[in-house]
Amino acid sequence: MSSTIGAIKEAFTSATGQTAKVADLQNVTSDPSKKPTKGLTTDHGVFISDTDNWYTGLSPTRHDTVRDVRGFATKFYTEEGNWDLVGNNIPVFFIQDAIKFPDLIHAVKPEPHNEVPTGQSAHNNFWDFAGLQPESAHMAMWAMSDRAIPRSLRMMQGFGVNTFTLLNTRGERFFVKFHWIPELGVHSLMWDEALKIAGQDPDFHRKDLEEAISTGAYPKWVFGIQVIPEARENDFDFDILDATKVWPEELVPVEIIGEMVLNRTVDEYFPETEQVAFCTAHVVPGIGFSDDPLLQGRNFSYFDTQLSRLGINWQQLPINRPVCPVLNHHRDGAMQHKITKDLNYWPNRHSVGPPVPPAEGGYAEYPQKIQAIKQRLRSPKFQEHYNHAQLFYNSLQDYEKAHVVSALSFELSHCDDPVVYESYTKLLNNIDFDLAKQVAINVGGVVPDKPARANHGYASSRLSQLAFAPKEPTIKSRRIAILLADGFNSAEVEALRAAFKAGSATTWIIGPRRGSVYPDDEQVGTGNGYSADHHFEGQRSTMFDAIIIPSGAKHAQALAGSGRTIHWVREAFGHCKAIGALGEGVAFLREVVQLPGVQLSPDPNSDAVTTSYGVVTAGRYDVGSAVADTLTIKQGEKGFVANFAYELSKHRCWERESDGLVAKVAF
């Protein structure tokens, strides 16, 4: 196994700078500005005379932040061929055997009589299927958790889901699961926030990813594996080949063997992203397949999908073709890109294109010993469906459990058939009594009087998102909105922006208009002012990780007269985001916004910092305050910036929600 791990490590660590694939893509990259022609032509060379008149159509919107399972696929262009690691941001799946894929997809898709729903699982058919297919219980818990509404694609874990194998040079086989762990931690949106962003900016995640790369805050994941020797396959109380189960890290630790950094974006989306095609059957020497019944079906279906989507020669497309030499006897077919002379069969009289033995680099098939009866059935361990659903729920923080209750209540409340929501609330009672009881009360289901099945009480330390907080707190790539009106303190704003930039966070000026906003030392309409990135009606607090209201008497008075800016702060408070205020900005919070249960800085003449439920305030912030205020992201540090940065690094102040403060604010 060590040689396989070494090869994987080399694939990661050597892929820096100008990779072989980037160089390969340059061969099919053209710049029209450097190759002037007489004019515009069709693909078959005819000059086009009119580019302004044709038929017009509208493309459907895309909901980036809707509750859903996110794919997480990576393609490795190795010297031994392409390896496609195709997975999700959730480590398990709804079904154990690929034969149930059609039923699952049919249950999620729109109903035939009205084509509803097209973009959600909150309907009768899906929950009817899930209630009658209890193997989906574990995946449903993940999908109803915060995992299904990530704050950013950069803050998701990635999982290979299925059980693969590793083969070492001694012919020994190991079972393996693959993991991607984000550098920034695993964070999510709140449900109300996700709903609003879906309407406010349906491309939120795409823009977020591009912004991080373009500003140099490169998204990064470490790559890890869980490995089980073949001799230990049956040592667990669950089947390690069951895709509806996790391998608890207390039993099988994750070994970190590499990392991935996204340091550039594509030049053109369609040929480099839209046409990229993944297939679980694409592996390289040393990596193989287990008897996982879901994986066996995926190996067939993914290849078939690409045939339908892109055609028989889809692997010849520039983004899909390997960087190593390709030689085979495939010919013809639609969209054939290559012209190959001479023989196209084996054996042939010139010995062209012979098989390559494993000793010379050919793919080695593991000689698996089999002693079994061929039947349509699953092993006894495959029949247990609730232990891991309980494990997941038990492992969550209290606020995460509350979000699962809310999500299930939202979904089932959209089911109008009593049979459906009553059946699923009964199923939930096999996972957790309190969970089932609360959801049943919320949706009008069957309220249980006792557990249908005892909760085993076990938890795993690596299932809650909180377990993946960065070792060193960071505000890297976090978006901070600074709310300004004419008359703000410019020295304060400059000091804050410089400090947060040093921590690789971005600051955005939000003002009453897009254009110049004037500080207290400039008359409105004179001087340069500060250029606002957006106006209060052009963006919402949902687009940012935190907000700050600096000092300035006229500025604070103007904000107090704007219902939208008051809503900005209350909404950010309701979404548990860090909020900062200085000087008159503190008075604005106290007298106008009126945040419940929050302590604010009592002395307008002191730079002492008060932090309460993620709200950081100070009476003043002058040159001396700024000099003494270093960006040390650590609880208990002195200074406004240090304290605000620490609250921001926590992602959210969940105590604000669990202590009932959020429920007291309309947003």
Tell me what percent of the residues of the chain surpass a pLDDT of 70.
Answer: 93
CA 499 to chain centre: 28
Rounded average pLDDT over 23-41: 72
pLDDT, position 528: 80
Phi–psi pair at 616, nearest 5 degrees: -110, 120
Q: Which is nearest to 485 in space by CA: 541, 572, 550, 545?
A: 550
Rounded average pLDDT over 243-262: 98
Three-class secondary structure of residue 610 per DSSP: strand
pLDDT of 18 higher than 90: no
Contact 20, 80 (CB under 8 A): no
Task: Tell me the per-residue pLDDT of 178-213, one tens digit each, with 9 for 90 and over.
Answer: 999 999 999 999 999 999 999 999 999 999 999 999
What is the Cα–Cα distance from 243 to 97, expressed in whole angstroms? 8
What is the Cα–Cα distance from 486 to 517, expressed in whole angstroms? 6
Write out 182-208 in H/E/C secondary structure. Answer: ECCCCCECCHHHHHHHHHHCCCHHHHH
pLDDT of 640 higher than 80: yes
What is the Cα–Cα distance from 431 to 452, expressed in whole angstroms? 8
* Known binding-site residue numbers for heme: 302
Of how many residues is the chain composed? Answer: 667
pLDDT of 13 higher than 80: no
| Count of C-beta atoms within a 10 Å radius of residue 421 | 28
Supply angle C-alpha 306, 311, 314, rounded to 5: 70
In DSSP notation, 28-90 reads T---GGGS--SS-B-TTSPBPS-SS-S----PPP--TTSS-PPEEEEEEEETTEEEEEEEESS
What is the Cα–Cα distance from 379 to 377, expressed in whole angstroms? 7
Rounded average pLDDT over 160-169: 96
* Known binding-site residue numbers: 302
Q: Which is nearest to 37 in space by CA: 46, 28, 29?
A: 46
Instruction: Please provide the distance, in angstroms rounded to a whole number, between the alpha carbons at the two ends of the chain.
Output: 55
pLDDT, position 277: 95
Place of tokens 């084509």: 115
- Residue 19: pLDDT band (50, 70, 90) is confident
pLDDT of 9 higher than 60: no
In the chain, the domains with their CATH numbers are 2-109+135-324 (2.40.180.10), 383-468 (1.20.1370.20), 479-664 (3.40.50.880)
Here the tokens at position 110 are: 């729109």
Rounded average pLDDT over 649-656: 98
Task: Tell me the per-residue pLDDT of 346-378, one tens digit each, with 9 for 90 and over.
Answer: 888 988 888 888 888 888 889 888 887 778 888
Task: Tell me the per-residue pLDDT of 330-341, one tens digit each, with 9 for 90 and over.
Answer: 889 998 888 888
Here the tokens at position 605 are: 């003449």
DSSP H helices, 110-216, are 124-132, 137-143, 191-200, 204-214
What is the Cα–Cα distance from 417 to 305, expressed in whole angstroms? 34
pLDDT, position 55: 39
* Residue 593 DSSP one-character state: I
**Range with the lowest mean pLDDT among 304-308, 441-445, 579-583, 653-657?**
304-308
- Residue 328: pLDDT band (50, 70, 90) is confident
Q: Which range in 16-25, 108-117, 408-417 is most confidently predicted, on average pLDDT?
A: 408-417
- For 487, 496, 513, the CA distances from 527, given in Å and listed in that order, are 13, 21, 16
pLDDT of 599 higher than 80: yes
**Range with the lowest mean pLDDT among 40-44, 307-311, 334-338?**
40-44
Treating both helix axes as pointing N-terminal to C-terminal, what angle do 640-649 and 490-502 enclose, rounded to 10 degrees?
Answer: 50
What is the Cα–Cα distance from 547 to 568, expressed in whole angstroms? 9
pLDDT of 15 higher than 50: no
Place of tokens 């959210």: 652
* Residue 590 DSSP one-character state: I
pLDDT of 60 higher than 50: no
Contact 72, 219 (CB under 8 A): no
Contact 515, 531 (CB under 8 A): yes
What is the Cα–Cα distance from 640 to 377, expressed in whole angstroms? 63
pLDDT, position 17: 61
pLDDT, position 628: 80
Q: Are strands 479-483 and 609-612 parallel, antiparallel or unpaired?
A: unpaired
pLDDT of 614 higher than 90: yes
Tell me what percent of the residues of the chain surpass a pLDDT of 90.
Answer: 75
Task: Tell me the per-residue pLDDT of 69-99, one tens digit each, with 9 for 90 and over.
Answer: 999 999 999 988 999 999 999 999 999 999 9
Contact 558, 519 (CB under 8 A): no
Q: Are strands 546-549 and 578-582 parallel, antiparallel or unpaired?
A: parallel
Average model confidence (pLDDT) across the chain: 91
Task: Tell me the per-residue pLDDT of 516-554, one tens digit each, with 9 for 90 and over.
Answer: 999 998 887 677 889 999 999 999 999 999 999 999 999
pLDDT, position 6: 52
pLDDT of 59 higher than 70: no
pLDDT of 66 higher than 50: yes
